A = this chain, B = another copy of it.
Amino acid sequence: MKIEIWSDVACPWCYIGKRRFEAALSAFPHKDAVEVVWRSYQLDPTLPEHYDGTELEYLSTRKGMAPQQVSQMFDHVAQQARGEGLNYRFDSVVVANSFTAHRLIHLAAAHGKQDAAKERLLSDHFEHGRDIGSREYLASLGRGLGIDAGEVDELFTTDKYADDVRFDFEEGRSLGISGVPFFVIDRKFGLSGAQPTETFTAALNQAWQDANPLVLVNSGEGDACGPDGCSV
């Protein structure tokens, strides 16, 4: 079973959704048969590589929201994040374009480290105030993942993986995805947003039954008992 997750680094619900999905996956009996692939999506491709301002300033300027409203939104999202064991610190978030980070996620995938890269980026962005657009940060992230420094350097000196990131954007568009996180199972089932863990569980079960249906060998109903009682 292949699960593709369109997601941005700079997306607070994406990290929360990742935790809820992981909770469902870890309890899923067929989890060893599940392949997870992170696909790139950008909420704001127009962001400069470095934005001189806080996340609050960015959102209130760009979305035309009152600072107080943004602040309330932060409180609500941070509370939801805490419920998943995540310690969001919106005051420290460094607003940065995530394009190069997405390229690094693709590079990490080539080393079998995609989920680790995605996890670190989300944590460092929302919990540790790291600048996910900076060369220094991405180099240290690459080192931490055991990726050769020269390969991370190539992200800054060449266009490597840029087409892969853009391909993800296009493919997301072709599937009708207009917000993230968005989970696609076997290119057949779609699940939008940071749903509760039970919803992910239901989706995993539905997709599994769809791909591996039991053939019922009895034609008629046999005498049986259920939650509502026994047949007579």
Contacts and interface: CB of A to CB of B under 8 A. Distances in A.
State how many copies of this chain the complex holds.
2
A224 B13 contact: yes
A227 B43 contact: yes
Contacts of A225: 8, 11-14, 43, 179-180
Most chain B CB within 10 A, of A184, A222, A231, is at A222
Main secondary structure of the interface of A (DSSP, over half): mixed
A28 interface: yes
A217 B190 contact: yes
B226 A29 contact: no
B188 A214 contact: yes
A8 to B, nearest CB: 7
A32 interface: no
A170 interface: yes
A232 B76 contact: yes
Interface in A199-223: 199, 201-209, 212, 214-218, 221-223
A169 B29 CA distance: 10
A190 B174 contact: no
A74 to B, nearest CB: 9
Contacts of A171: 29
Nearest to A176: B209
Given A28-B170, A184-B214, A192-B221, A178 B80 contact: no
Interface in A39-61: 43-44, 59
For the complex of A and B, 7 pairs with smallest distance between CB atoms: A193-B222, A190-B214, A179-B226, A193-B224, A29-B171, A195-B222, A203-B217
15 contacts: A13-B231, A30-B174, A77-B230, A173-B201, A174-B204, A175-B214, A179-B224, A190-B215, A191-B216, A192-B216, A193-B223, A195-B218, A199-B222, A202-B217, A203-B218
